Amino acid sequence: MSGLRVLVTGAAGLVGAEVVARLAGEGHTVLALVHKRPAIVRNDGEVVRTVPAGQSGPGLVSCVAGDVTKPMLGLTAERYEELAAGVDRIVHSAATTDFGRRWETYESLNVDGTRNVVRLASERAVPLVHVSTAYVCGERTGRVLEDDLDVGQRFGTGYERSKFLAEQEVRAAATPVAVVRPSMVVGTQESGVIRDFKNMYVVLKLFTQGRVRSVPGFYDALLDLVPVDYVAALICQVVNRFDEARGLTFHAVGAAPHTLLDVSNALAEYPMFEVPHYVSPSAFDVDALPPDERVYYRRIIAMYESFFRRRARFDDTNAARLAPWRPEATGVDYLRTLLDHCVRVGYLGRAEAGIGDVLRLTGGPR
């Protein structure tokens, strides 16, 4: 396949950076739209070499500073035309994935930002690969199909709702589209390496340090953890094989979901870790928690509470047909890989972070 000219939004993000590097490695010309973070750093810490836009070509990455929340992506009319000229694919991965943001932030970046990218794709009839989340399913229980979207589900977070609305924008686009829905993105399958310790990693930190000891949830609740390298590989496959992917949705999910019992069993293998216990939500009383624990619960854990009672299983029939490889590690073995990396780099195993540090990492309210 000859090299494509691919615009990637959110190019400095965890998934976006990995997609940029892989596409360039395959010989594509990559236009990387970045916002606040000028450098593109891969999951393993390698900085992606970039060139000025005028030097773009096969295998090269050129950075463009822009803002998806603004018309014409925050660019001048001339720069916007230059960016759009000759683009063969658009990968839209720009989004805030932090929990606890104000709805206005989700609406601006995740919904309006998607609308602006859809407008560009539709104006130029450019195929669009949209990166969503498997959790547009909200708090559904049971098997979730890849083509399911609006089934009257209840959302546990504003993030999920915003991505649901963004998918509606994509499905209404006047251009060919494909959607990739990752579940909870975590470290690589082989080594557990992760660039950004956010979201569920912050919860693990509070658990292992004993900051939060009791959580309303069920031991058979399901967490679907997907390696970041698999997510990026699947997105690139959708870009490369768009004729097959057109009009389809792909669940980028793990080999099998993990129960909260799996998590507890894995944590129990580490003598330095505290292990939380789960209380039936109907019997849980946050006011009965010790004062310090109550603060951490209300400020952080409450944002993730719904995940401790969910029992969704994601069908990935479309992804299985297209993916270059599939995640294999499951259960406590994979959790051990993730935890070993966290211990190795010093993220877990120490009790030094205060509430301000945790809030900064999770993007929660200040």
Q: Identify the CA nearest to 92 among candidates 170, 159, 199.
A: 170
pLDDT at 1: 55
pLDDT band at 37 (very low <50, low <70, confident <90, very high): confident
User: Structure tokens of 165?
Assistant: 């609305």
pLDDT tens figures, 217-233 = 999 999 999 999 999 99
pLDDT at 350: 58
Cα atoms in the Cβ-side hemisphere of radius 13 Å centred on 297: 20
pLDDT band at 330 (very low <50, low <70, confident <90, very high): confident
200-208 vs 355-362: helix crossing angle, rounded to 10:
160
Query: Which CATH number does 5-187+224-252 carry?
Result: 3.40.50.720
* Average pLDDT across the chain, whole number: 93
Mean pLDDT value of segment 49-61: 89
Let me know: does 335 contact 263? Beta carbons within 8 Å.
yes
Q: Nearest-5° angle of CA 239, CA 137, CA 241? A: 10
pLDDT tens figures, 307-317 = 999 999 999 99
Q: Measuring CA to CA, how many Å separate 162 from each of 115, 144, 179, 268, 272?
A: 12, 19, 15, 36, 38
Let me know: does 32 contact 64? Beta carbons within 8 Å.
yes
Which of 57 and 55 is assigned the larger pLDDT?
57
User: Structure tokens of 352?
Assistant: 């030094």
Mean pLDDT value of segment 108-131: 97
pLDDT at 264: 95
pLDDT at 62: 95
